[in-house]
Amino acid sequence: MKLCFNQATTLNNSNLVKDLEYCEKHGYDYIEIRTMDKLPEYLEDHSIDDLAQYFQSNHIKPLAFNALVFFNNRDEAEYQKLLDEYRQMLDTGSRLGVEYIVAVPLVTEKKFTHADIKASSVKVLRELSDLAKPYGIKIAVEFVGHPQCTVNTFGQAYDIVEEVARDNVGLVLDCFHFHAMGSKREDLLRSDVSKIFIVHIDDTEDFPIGFLTDEDRVWPGLGAIDLDFIFATLKEKGYDHVVSVELFRPEYYELDAEEAIRTAKETTLQVVSRHYNF
């Protein structure tokens, strides 16, 4: 198993330069780069060539761009804007050696039927798949465990990816999102783990289903999620790619960035090493 760092974990107390420095120092294999804020901030006084050179010269590598947000059930103008953003991500990602673009479903108070959500998601993901093929980049769909997300359980997301039926379209399994809307264990047990591209590790305070928010996340092993079930299942089914630690805890943003990155690794290894070697 390889170890990855998601920049959300130091969202308010670091930047891409520091995250790369500390992740390299503490032995991470990969980083998920936030394209909505951390990459633009970096490019204010660096270039993509600078970043590519860093990855060529160091152990850590770019796992994913996070994220292409709200890809489904958009009107035509919004969708064309999303495609423009996506094409730029593909071009930049190919220059850096990014493996995945994380795609996040629409979060909205507007009501859509399950059929409409599935139809839109499948149509869009097939188009994104076609556009990504020449670049060798894959799309990792991340369901969000919140009542207002159009795709908010593992089973719903897995059903969409199965319908898309493309080798370069799979899932992000985020432990928080799996727990937060009560995704079914049997859906994970029946899954083909070749469809799971990235696993996000985190934990959470013990609030009821439907009330959890990202700010409730805590270090792995310190909360209410049955992480041992998730990782034992993944191990038994043959998943052995990457685990990426992702938290949005306000208290953790008060820490020194290096302390947060070190603690993220230590707590992740304490949990995942019960099932995997690193």
> What span, in angstroms and rounded, lies between the C-alpha atoms of 107 and 268?
28
Measured in whole angstroms, the distance separating CA 64 from the mean position of its chain's CA atoms is 8
**To the nearest 10°, the Cα dihedral for 233, 235, 241, 245?**
60
Task: Give 149-164 pLDDT, tens digit per residue.
Answer: 999 999 999 999 999 9
With a pLDDT cut of 90, the percent of the chain lying above it is 100
Residue listed under structure tokens 């198993």: 1
Give which of 214, 140, 217, 211 is closest to 182, Cα–Cα. Answer: 211
The residue type of 187 is D
Average pLDDT over residues 50-61: 98
Give which of 166, 229, 218, 177 is closest to 200, Cα–Cα. Answer: 177
CATH topology of domain 2-270: TIM Barrel (3.20.20)
Rounded alpha-carbon distances, angstroms, from residue 6 to 66, 156, 201, 214, 233: 9, 24, 10, 14, 23
What the block records as the tokens of 36 is 């909505």
Average pLDDT over residues 21-44: 98
* Alpha helices in the chain, H assignment, sequence order: 16-25, 38-42, 48-57, 76-96, 114-132, 154-164, 175-180, 185-189, 227-237, 257-272
Task: Give 214-240 pLDDT, tens digit per residue.
Answer: 999 999 999 999 999 999 999 999 999
Task: Give 72-102 pLDDT, tens digit per residue.
Answer: 999 999 999 999 999 999 999 999 999 999 9
pLDDT for 126: 98
Give the confidence band of 188 by pLDDT, cuts at 50, 70, 90: very high
DSSP secondary structure code for residue 134 in this structure: G
* Alpha helices in 205-256, H assignment, sequence order: 227-237
Average pLDDT over residues 49-74: 98
pLDDT for 147: 97
- By the 10 Å C-beta count (0-12 exposed, 13-18 middle, 19+ buried), 110 is classed as exposed
> What span, in angstroms and rounded, lies between the C-alpha atoms of 268 and 6?
13
How does the average pLDDT of the chain come out, rounded?
98
> What span, in angstroms and rounded, lies between the C-alpha atoms of 163 and 205?
34
Beta bridge partners of residue 277, listed in sequence order: none
Give which of 148, 203, 158 is closest to 181, Cα–Cα. Answer: 148
Average pLDDT over residues 32-52: 98
Q: Give me the residue spans of the domains in the chain.
A: 2-270
